[in-house]
Chain A
Amino acid sequence: MSDTTPLLRLDGIRKNFGAIEALKGISFDIGRGEVVALLGDNGAGKSTLVKIISGGQEPSAGRMIYEGREVSFSSPAEAKAAGIETVYQDLSLCTNVDVVANFFMGREIVKRYFGIPVLQEKEMEAATAKAISDAGTRIPSLRTNVEHLSGGQRQAIELNRFVHWGGKLVLLDEPFAALGVEQTRRGLEMIKKIAAQGIGVVIITHIMAQAFQVADRIVVIRQGIVAGDVRADDTTADKVVRMITGEALRPSPATPAEAR
């Protein structure tokens, strides 16, 4: 699966919030069909990095090269148009509307009558029902407002949503935080399936076992810099933990230069 040009290359990404340097020059690659687990302690800058890639925030410095072209996304809409899907840590659902409306948020199916776009509810409901059942999630009624659903059901909606819409690169910020054991297992399988389709995946997680289960590569961020970038096969959980806590912070031989 080693493509010559990576799907996304981050080159010296920096982000300042006032005097605070959240990211101090992040560089790594994400290949097509590759699953990269992004690890790091709380406050290491993982979520900030995801927001930058997904267009929610703009970097203070650095370049993003996406499919061989330098890009800068000034809004999530632009990133989405380029094929980058994101599942955020704080869920991005509108709880005041039903499951179908959430599933098709911003991409409603419409049919034009005399130039007026009209929502096609039946079509959207059928597509939602299919996607939800394909993923093995049970939601009693797709016409229930999301505020009445459990945390696990909500997260399942978000996960199924991005699977359905596909794209070229998927960013997952702690996607399984509210899921049960069985749903998490399905979720991890889903990620492998997506990657097998050639879609790049970046997954942020705190759970080491999940990272090793699904990731091809593990990138550790510590205090705003890349503290480690290793193939999952070439490392152990202990080593990764040491990278996260900074005990083994040394110029690793397995830096991106070699990984390529």
Chain B
Amino acid sequence: MISTRHRAVIEFVLDHLVWFILIAVVALFSFTVPSYFQIGIFANIVEQSTFVATLAIGLSLLIIAGYMDLSVESVMALAAMVIGILFAKSGVGLGLTLTPAWLIVPVSLAIALAVGAVVGASNAFFVVRLKMNAFIVTLAAYIWGRGLVVALSGGRSAQELPAELRFLAIERFLSVPLIAWVSIAATLAFAFILNKTPFGRHLLLVGGNATAAYRAGIRVDRLTATTFVLAGAIAGLAGWLLAIRTSGATANLGVGMLFQTFAAVVIGGVSLKGGVGSLTGVYAGVLLLASIQTAINLMGMPAHFTQLIQGGMVLVAVLLDTVKIAIRKKLA
């Protein structure tokens, strides 16, 4: 029998394993990769992580509830393109202006969130009301969402968002641009919701055993629908941030981010079976992927090494999960 304190330490390490791995990996790179250990590099890792980290919030919530959302990447691109078309000054942009000019920040944010929420609501309708498989429904949305982006833009791009929006990508606080802080704040806010509110608790319960949750009087359908809408809106937020960062949108904006997001979510400790995961862990997973990518860039290795390593890491993450479960079983 192990002491309570001993057990608490082990539990803590297991719960935050990905953070320990992140620290170890960053330390390793700092010693071995020349010019890796710099504030500028670390700030860049955080900045790079902005979009995947934001997408990962919504995806994690849905996976924790026992569902799947493949549409987040396309929803992000769609929201970015809508913002680009409405507010960018050149390309396909209409260059709308508002008075006073700063109004563009809340208005464009609201539009991006609404675009995401609408796609999320459509996913929710098919999954919850028509009882269709979430994997297929969101795969369809992934495809038609991207198609809609191309159709809306005619395959062209929108450039030059006004300075009132751009400052979010340019101004820095502690060397990190404001858009990255937005994604960190969103992560913390949803981590709080997941851990400390009944909504978050119910997500875990539904992901663990939907029948038991239903019998306990939890309105499973409403919860699921809300989560799909939320995941869509959060993808809309990612699109808003991405449009600001790139000062507009292109038809192929963010292609491939879905798989990075999935990798980060799994590495961050979210179980694809549902019912298990923490958002701070997922954020660490995103940082871990970005750290490795940065190291590979600095070493001058070809970019496809990143993919090889990231693929391997997903496998290791799943393996680690099995080990963690085995250790926990011994603790109980």
Contact = CB atoms under 8 A, between A and B. Distances in A.
A255 interface: no
B212 A77 contact: no
B197 A117 contact: yes
B275 interface: yes
B276 interface: yes
B212 A93 contact: yes
A140 interface: yes
B215 A76 contact: yes
A96 B207 contact: yes
B208 A92 contact: no
B97 interface: no
B332 interface: yes
Contacts of B331: 148
A130 B198 CA distance: 22
A93 B329 CA distance: 18
Contacts of A108: 198, 201
Interface size class of A (residues with CB under 8 A): 20 to 34
Interface string B264-283: 00000000001110000000
Contacts, number: 84
A212 to B, nearest CB: 29
Interface in A95-130: 95-97, 101, 105-108, 110, 116-119
Interface stretch (B105-113, B126-134, B149-157, B216-224): B216-224
Contacts of B216: 76, 80, 92, 105-107
B276 A105 contact: no
A205 interface: no
A175 to B, nearest CB: 15
Given A76-B217, A108-B198, A96 B211 contact: no
Interface residues of B, number: 26
B328 interface: yes
A145 interface: yes
Instruction: Specify the main secondary structure of chain B where it touches its partner.
Output: helix
Contacts of A88: 215
B328 A145 contact: yes
A105 B218 contact: yes
A146 to B, nearest CB: 9
Contacts of A54: 215
Given A86-B215, A107-B217, A144-B332, A92 B198 contact: no
A72 B193 CA distance: 35
Given A76-B216, A105-B213, A118 B332 contact: no
B14 to A, nearest CB: 12
Contact of A101 (B205, B217, B219): B205
Given A86-B215, A93-B212, A95-B209, A117 B204 contact: no
Contacts of B275: 94, 96-97
Instruction: Specify the main secondary structure of chain A where it touches its partner.
Output: loop
A119 B200 CA distance: 10
Contacts of B215: 54, 56, 76, 86, 88, 92
B214 interface: yes
Contacts of A94: 204-205, 208-209, 212-213, 275
A87 B201 CA distance: 21
Interface in A188-243: none
Contacts of B197: 110, 116-119
Contact of A96 (B198, B202, B204, B329): B204
A119 B207 contact: no
B196 interface: yes
B329 A148 contact: yes
B198 A110 contact: yes
Nearest to B11: A143
A149 interface: yes
A108 B198 CA distance: 7
A183 B202 CA distance: 30
Interface string B68-94: 000000000000000000000000000
A86 B211 CA distance: 13
A93 B209 contact: yes
B331 to A, nearest CB: 8
Interface string A143-166: 011001100000000000000000
Nearest to B205: A94
Contact of A148 (B196, B218, B328): B328
B115 to A, nearest CB: 26
B186 to A, nearest CB: 16
Contacts of B217: 75-77, 80-81, 106-107
A106 B332 contact: no
Interface of A: 54, 56, 75-77, 80-81, 86, 88, 91-97, 101, 105-108, 110, 116-119, 140-141, 144-145, 148-149
30 contacts: A56-B215, A86-B215, A88-B215, A91-B212, A92-B212, A92-B216, A94-B204, A94-B275, A95-B208, A95-B209, A96-B207, A96-B274, A96-B275, A97-B205, A97-B208, A101-B201, A105-B212, A105-B213, A105-B216, A106-B202, A106-B205, A106-B213, A108-B198, A108-B201, A118-B197, A119-B196, A140-B332, A145-B332, A148-B328, A148-B331
Interface of B: 196-198, 201-202, 204-205, 207-209, 211-219, 274-276, 328-329, 331-332
Closest 10 CB pairs of A and B: A148-B332, A96-B208, A94-B208, A96-B275, A106-B216, A77-B217, A92-B212, A105-B216, A106-B217, A94-B209
